[in-house]
Amino acid sequence: MGALMSSNAFPVEGRTVLIAGGSKGTGLEAARQLAAKGGNIILIARDPQRLRDAIEYVKAGALSPETQRFHFIAADLTSNEACTNVIAQSTAWNAGLPPDVVWCFAGSSHPTLFVDTDAAQLKAQMDANYFSSAYMAHAALRSWLKTGQGPKDEVFAKAGKPLARHIIFTSSFLALYPIAGYAPYSPSKAALRSLSDSLSQELNLYATANPYLPSIKVHTLFPATIFTEAFEAENRIKSDMTKMLEETDDGQTPEVVARKSIQGLESGHELITSDFLTRFVLSTMMGASKRGGFLTAFVDWILGCLGLLILVFVRRDMDRKVRNWGKLHGDSGVKSQ
């Protein structure tokens, strides 16, 4: 029982990990930490120079830099064709084998009041945060399931079932509890949670039809505030009202979020949080998502029962703050002098 409890559901040593949005922030920290565990790393982002610098940073923390392999591809992942090409290029670089892990970090937040946001920005948020991840997952899954490459079932049957492959989405606390001022952003992250739950069920079809092929696990992360360059950029356009609503959020560094996310992956969780508050809110809206075993389900049930009561008062307090802001400062979201 102890060995079972301590088993690693996310081994990366000697395996190839593709990180979309890996040139900075949490994606970069996750890449370095996975390199420290022996993973071969492929970074994807738009800026070639940032990618070169990122690769050097990741290499510096590698377990065995002489034998591990590192690569980067500059691409705009809001295009389906670009994501397909990224998987093809990664496969060619990796001796004809697709990556074992695809972790989607690419995205951005445009936290402005919905009415004040240009309609084109609403689409841009979906492209950056939802479609970039959906396209990457689509391309990766096709490379794993539809290429017809690799050994036949009989070969796997003799060799033993290979290690699982992983698709990892990066959603947000705001997918669980939206906050006024994030309407352009929050729906794109909520869509990722829905996609994750859908694929978690759908992939059972391929697992049973091809029992000796690598299984595919789908995970979604729900970080809250992360202190990155992107967070600083958000604060330059974020309304004062939204900043007021967030003032009790302590936030976390990219290194901490990456570490806690990897711990969740190693524990085999599908839905992963990096702080207690997010875990608490998630427990109130698990729906049909996998719980991760009886003990986890029981803890979620207890937290969920408490949360359903507590969040009634939290929402009431948030609404009160927004109404009071309107009375004091008007409807611009900007604090009056």
Region 10-17 average pLDDT: 98
Region 12-40 average pLDDT: 98
Interatomic CA distance for residues 61 and 40, integer angstroms = 12
Taking only the tens place, the pLDDT of each residue in 228-265 is: 999 999 999 999 999 999 998 889 999 999 999 999 99
- Please, are residues 293 and 267 in contact by the beta-carbon 8 Å criterion? no
Residue 301 has pLDDT above 80, yes or no: yes
- Please, are residues 317 and 331 in contact by the beta-carbon 8 Å criterion? no
Q: What is the pLDDT of residue 148?
A: 53
Q: How many CA atoms lie within 13 A of 230 on its CB side?
A: 17
Residue 149 has pLDDT above 60, yes or no: no
Catalytically active residues are: 185, 189
Region 278-294 average pLDDT: 83
Interatomic CA distance for residues 311 and 293, integer angstroms = 25
Edge-first strand order for the sheet with 101-104 is 70-74, 40-45, 16-20, 101-104, 165-170, 216-221, 271-272
Name which residue leads in pLDDT, 332 or 159. Answer: 332
Taking only the tens place, the pLDDT of each residue in 201-229 is: 999 999 999 988 899 999 999 999 999 99
Q: Which domains does the chain have, with CATH numbers?
A: 2-329 (3.40.50.720)
Region 59-63 average pLDDT: 97
Q: What is the pLDDT of residue 295?
A: 78
How many other CB atoms sit within 10 Å of the CB of residue 74? Answer: 17
Which residue, 58, 26, 71, 24, is CA-closest to 262?
Answer: 26
- Please, are residues 207 and 140 in contact by the beta-carbon 8 Å criterion? no
Residue 150 has pLDDT above 70, yes or no: no
Please report which confidence band the pLDDT of residue 189 belongs to, taking 50, 70 and 90 as the band edges.
very high
Least confident window among 42-51, 109-118, 156-165: 156-165
For the chain, the residue count is: 337
Interatomic CA distance for residues 90 and 92, integer angstroms = 5
- Please, are residues 78 and 108 in contact by the beta-carbon 8 Å criterion? no
Residue 155 has pLDDT above 60, yes or no: no
Interatomic CA distance for residues 74 and 48, integer angstroms = 6
Interatomic CA distance for residues 36 and 13, integer angstroms = 9
